[in-house]
Structure 1
Amino acid sequence: MASRLSPALVRAAHVRLSDVHLSFGGRPVLAGVDLVAAAGDRVAVVGENGRGKTSLLRVLAGDLPADRGDVRRAGSIGVADQRIPLGAADTVGDLIDLELTAVRTALARLERAGDALADGRPGADDAYAAALAEAEALDAWDADRRVEVSLAALDAAADRDRPLGTLSVGRRHRLRLACLLGAGHAVLLLDEPTNHLDAGGLAHLTERLRAHPGVVVLVSHDRALLADVATTVVDLDPSSDGRPRVYGGGYPAYVEGRRAERARWEARHAEQVAERQRLADDLSAAQDRLRDNWRPDKGHGKHTRATRAPGLVRAVHRRQEELSAHVVEVPPPPTRFAMPELPGLVGTTLLRAEGVTVAGRLTCPVDVALDSGDRLVVTGPNGAGKSTLLALLGEVLAPDTGTVRRAGSARVGWLGQESDHHGRRTAVELYDERLARSGAPGPALSELGLLDGHDRRRPVAELSVGTRRRLDLALVLAARPHVLLLDEPTNHLSAALVDELTAALDATPAAVVIATHDRQLLRDTASWPRLAL
């Protein structure tokens, strides 16, 4: 459905960041971000978890002031972040009205201006013209219909009297996204909009974003959405000079540009490290010669030592100065994800479910049998029971009918969609505890390449949503499971990590079950067996 936003509003839509810097607690989050986006631009913001993607959207929205730099915006702004602004007792209608505040305000202003015009009040003509232009800019009369269309397409709640607390997390987020798509804003700022969407919802979102005539800035892990929608990519990941990169030409150009940038970075760092090692070796050799020549031959030759020593001393000093002057200016590239070696149990059925159902959640009986090395992708629309089935297999939930049996020696790791904040404990404390509980040797948290040193030592409650998701994955792997049950494993993870994780899952000897709507992950696992619910 094409937007009918005012052409004047569309032309005015604009966001600009110039050399924006932001720090939290003295730690840099954004460093020198530049961005210009006008009507028709769809900007994807990518980067590893904790790199400031959500913070950048908040700066653009005006919710978070930058420490330094210039931020400019034009046009009404709609924001879909990862927080629902109302409580459990508020209703669906309350949320719709909140998200359509600009529309409701514009129509109320137009009504008051119309009354003033009818009464012949002074200045009423100009006030009415301004109010009419504002309402036309938002296409305010059609906003509720647009919301209804998106509510249906996203399988969100349509009963306006229903309390939000009775909705699942996914339906609350779909409800808010539907409101935003219908509100008629010139600038859309979207934080992980594909979370909780099924195939139909993803198709609707893609269509609406491609048709949006204003500015779209989105943070997403969904590689298929980025490939279909983005015209420009802002990469907040660490770079060789510490500044973000901007890639034109859409997502494919970003992927290729990032690959080339990473190759250059690794090559330059390796060259500088090798040169420093060469200088260190030269210094060590010079020092060895000095020590060797300082020992006189037996019985005579002390004058030889005395005449040659000054030259050797000067050579040592010169090499010391060369080594001190050589600084490895290019920082080391970030580590890649390293999947720990997971065990297999050959000749044993690790997990078997027979005829399992859960009332209202998984209504059709399901059978699953898993041996080491087995692969399975569980698909289906929202509400079909994918998460319920994985919870049953992980023995997090008991079936109403049927049975789930696990081999006595088999360990099962379950990654759900929601993260436990774990209070004030640190990531490394939780991981080490889980590793010790598994009773099997495993890599340290630092060796997985999932969290940097700063995040490993922070209380988990202070970590970003994406970083907590990385920790959840690390905690599952720490148990050294024979079976991995992964419910929407790509949610909140960066595209680079998803690619690395997908390759690792394909190679592990453990059994792997994935439930996902991620279109790119479905393509990448096209050879795996499917279970459609």
Structure 2
Amino acid sequence: MSTVIALPARARAHLNATDLHLSRGGQPVLTGVDLTVSPGDRLGVVGENGRGKTTLLQVLAGTLAPDSGSVHRAGTLGVADQEMPIGGDRTVGELIDLELAQVRAVLRAFESATLALVEERPGAEQAYADALAAAESISAWDADRRVDISLAALGAVDDRTRPLAELSVGQRYRIRLACLLGAGHDLLLLDEPTNHLDAGGLDHLTARLREHQGGVVLVSHDRALLADIVTAVLDLDPTSDGRPRTYGGGYAGYREGHRAERERWESEYRDQQSERQRLAQDLSAAQNRLSTGWRPEKGTGKHTRATRAPALVRAVHRRQEELQAHVVDVPKPPSRFQMPRLDAPQGATLLRADEVMVHGRIPSPRSVLLRAGDRLVVTGPNGCGKSSLLAVLAGTLAPDTGTVQRKRGARVGVLAQESPPPSRRRAFEVYDAAMGRLVSSGELDEAERLGLTQLGLLPSGAAHRPVSELSVGQQRRLDLAVLLGARPHLLLLDEPTNHLSMALVEELTQALAATGAAVVLATHDRQLLRDTATWPRLHL
């Protein structure tokens, strides 16, 4: 049950959740979540894709009721979901008005209270004082200016007459984020706010969140943002006892605590499995002795045979009881990502682009030469043409000038920024169909074909669910599985860290550094840029 307490004073902003449980489709999503956020707290929420991070934000926002547990909020609330519908013929200005509706209501209430004071209505003085306090608590008169500052800093469209349908997903998201940063809410619930932001936008978001005086709950896989702002981390990943963990000490405290937790879990699981194996071997040995070893040599008396057999039977029963009594109560730790072997002909030129341009998208001529094992990072602000350049290299966008040559038979794999519209087909069916087409066309040898779960990207349960029922992050993992399952010689990755968990990003980064394929990254991810600092750069 959720209770909303309307208290505008930011100093009294408060969010508390107690023992939240929620299941979907018979599967537990949230299990015993507890959290408290007070003014000045910035709580990071992390976990593998599909662990319920977005669901938790919906419960905290009051848009989804938990099966059990309670949520209590004090203060005004601003929410940024990962996905944002266009909303018919709505314009940029209408979206801004919608996001600032609470500010507009506070200002209207102040104007009414002012008029009542001028007209000397009964109780007008107290009503005016209350309305003034509410407006001052969120700096309501300054909200539009703050939004304009954030629109500029985030590189968002500020033409209020522009229809939202004409804008990209990233543009619409940046407008909404600018409104949330400018509205002066007491509590902010943000789901992957760094998606679609360039370096300047990331710096602005980081600064605004650090100076926010209310409370923040931040779902993010952006390691740099978490390191810069969070004061504590709630980890929804599976644990040995099935309950989530909260780590103090910011992101550094979480990393240290999570690593120690995982090592303890794996050690306890190995110990219990080893003990069970030992008991099973003891039972097997006792059974062997019962079937063969109890028979004494010829000439031995009947009395010896009669007394040895019961003792061996008792030993077998004892071993059986010990094995049955041994309970493996530590679940198996989650599997890790397994990068398939990607090779390309050594020394071969896989792709060469000379002086390519696309009017309005790649305004300056660009050249790229890629051989087997080459690495390249494409950087630059939003709108500079990074995605367009990758599309030209992939062959899905023809350049207006310049040429692109690809080695005959070279397999080029592309990971787009966003997943395609989800279908009702199950994840493994989508994957198998993609691999089947490659095998049928001769592009992929049957011997190279891997099963979906072999990659460690989706567990069996998720692999057998319709894609439309998967989380955004799980859909992204499916995209990555289809890409890697095709065994490309050249990988073109557009913002590859979008929606992926931190653990997977770290494993993927290490794998990309070691693969024999050529790799091109287009990214704003600050930590990924640090991790690939030795790779050649192409700045657009």
- Give TM class, smaller chain: over 0.9
- Following superposition, the deviation at residue 166 of structure 1 comes to 0.9
Pairing 1:320-469 to 2, within 5 Å after superposition: 320-436=320-436, 437-438=438-439, 439-440=444-445, 441-469=448-476
Distance 1:243 1:334 in 2: 15
- AA partner of residue 395 (structure 2): E
Q: Does 1:78 align with 2:78?
A: yes
Q: Specify the SS of the correspondent of 2:30.
A: strand
Residue aligning to 1:219 = 219
1:523 maps to what in 2?
A: 530
Whether 1:471 aligns to 2:471 is no
What are the ranges of 5 or more consecutive residues in structure 1 without an aligned counterpart? 1-6
Instruction: Provide, for residues 443-491 of structure 1, a one-character-per-residue CA deviation record: whole Å limited to 9, x for no partner.
Output: 3211211111111000111111111001100000011000010000000
The one-letter code sitting in structure 2 at the alignment partner of 1:163 is P
> Does residue 1:497 correspond to 2:504, yes or no?
yes
Cα distance in 2 for residues equivalent to 1:355 and 1:86: 37
Alignment of 1:99-118 (within 5 A): 99-118=99-118
8 Å CA contact 1:46, 1:234 repeated in 2: yes
**What amino acid does structure 1 have at the position aligned with 2:78?**
G
Deviation digits for residues 277-326 of structure 1 (CA, Å, limit 9, x no counterpart): 00000000000000013556557655533221111111101110110111
Aligned to 2:133, the other structure's residue is in SS state: helix
- Work out whether residues 86 and 95 of structure 1, in 8 Å CA contact, stay in contact via their aligned partners in 2: no
Letter in 1 for 2:470: L
Distance (whole Å) between structure 2 residues aligned to residue 63 and residue 451 of structure 1: 28
Q: Matched residues in 1 for 2:95 and 2:86: separation?
A: 7
Q: Secondary structure at the match of 1:377?
A: strand
- Residues 1:480 and 2:520 aligned together: no
Query: What secondary structure does 2:398 align onto?
Result: coil
* Equivalent residues of 2:59, 2:66 under 8 A apart: yes
**1:36-435 equivalent positions in 2, closer than 5 A:** 36-293=36-293, 295=295, 297=297, 303-435=303-435
CA contact (8 A) 1:88 1:163 kept: no
- Letter of the 1:167 partner, please give it: L
**SS state of the match for residue 83, structure 1?**
coil
Compare 137-146 and 288-297 and name the one that shifted more. 288-297
Please say if residues 350 and 371 of structure 1, whose CA atoms lie closer than 8 Å, have aligned partners that are also in contact: yes
Alignment partners' CA distance in 1, 2:197 and 2:517 = 28
Q: CA deviation at 1:227?
A: 0.3
In 2, Cα distance between the equivalents of 1:233 and 1:167?
Answer: 34
**Residues 353 and 404 of structure 2 are in contact (CA less than 8 Å); yes or no, is this contact kept in structure 1?**
yes
CA distance in 2, matches of 1:288, 1:415: 57
Aligned letter for 1:427?
Answer: A
| Alpha-carbon distance between aligned partners in 2 of 1:366 and 1:302, rounded to the nearest angstrom | 95
Instruction: List alignment gaps of at least 5 residues for structure 2.
Output: 1-6
- Once structures 1 and 2 are overlaid, which stretch shifts more, 394-403 or 404-413? 394-403
Provide the rounded CA distance (Å) in 1 between the counterparts of 2:173 and 2:522.
Answer: 19
- Amino acid of the residue matched to residue 482 of structure 2? L
8 Å contact kept, 2:86–2:165:
no
Residue-by-residue CA offset, 1:396-432 (whole Å, 9 max, x unaligned): 2121111221111210100001211341111111222
Partner amino acid, structure 2, of 1:515:
A
- Matched to 1:305, the amino acid is R
Between 424-433 and 361-370, the greater mean CA deviation after superposition? 424-433
Contact 2:8 2:134 in 1 (8 A): no
SS at structure 1 position matched to 2:158: coil
CA distance in 1, matches of 2:44, 2:242: 19
**1:113 CA displacement:** 1.7
Aligned partners of 1:410 and 1:482 also within 8 Å = yes
Whole-angstrom CA distance in 2 between matches of 1:346 and 1:182? 53
Task: Please report the RMSD computed on the Cα atoms of aligned residues, expressed in angstroms.
Answer: 1.4
What residue identity is the alignment partner of 1:475?
A: V
Corresponding residue to 1:507 among 497, 506, 514: 514
- What is the CA–CA distance in structure 1 between the aligned matches of 2:451 and 2:297, rounded to whole Å? 53
CA distance in 1, matches of 2:275, 2:151: 61
In the alignment, is the contact (CA less than 8 A) between 2:153 and 2:204 conserved in 1?
Answer: yes
Please, what TM-score do these two structures have when normalized by structure 2? 0.95
Alignment of 1:7-26 (within 5 A): 9-26=9-26
Contact 1:45–1:217 (Cα < 8 Å) also in 2: yes
Bigger mean CA deviation after superposition, 304-313 or 454-463: 304-313
Q: CA deviation at 1:351?
A: 1.1
TM-score where L is the length of structure 1: 0.97
Whole-angstrom distance in 2 between the partners of 1:86 and 1:348 = 46
Q: 1:146 to 1:403 in 2, by over 3 A?
A: same
Confirm or deny: 8 A CA contact 1:293 1:309 kept in the other structure: no
| Structure-1 residue corresponding to 2:4 | none
Q: Across the two proteins, how many residue pairs are aligned to each other?
A: 527
Structure 2 SS opposite 1:20 = strand
> Can you list the C-alpha shifts for 1:196-225, whole angstroms capped at 9, x where unaligned?
100000000000000001101111111000
Mapped to 2, the partners of 1:16 and 1:101 lie a distance apart of 25
> Contact 2:8–2:76 (CA<8 Å) still a contact in 1?
no
Bigger Cα displacement from structure 2, 16-25 vs 302-311: 302-311
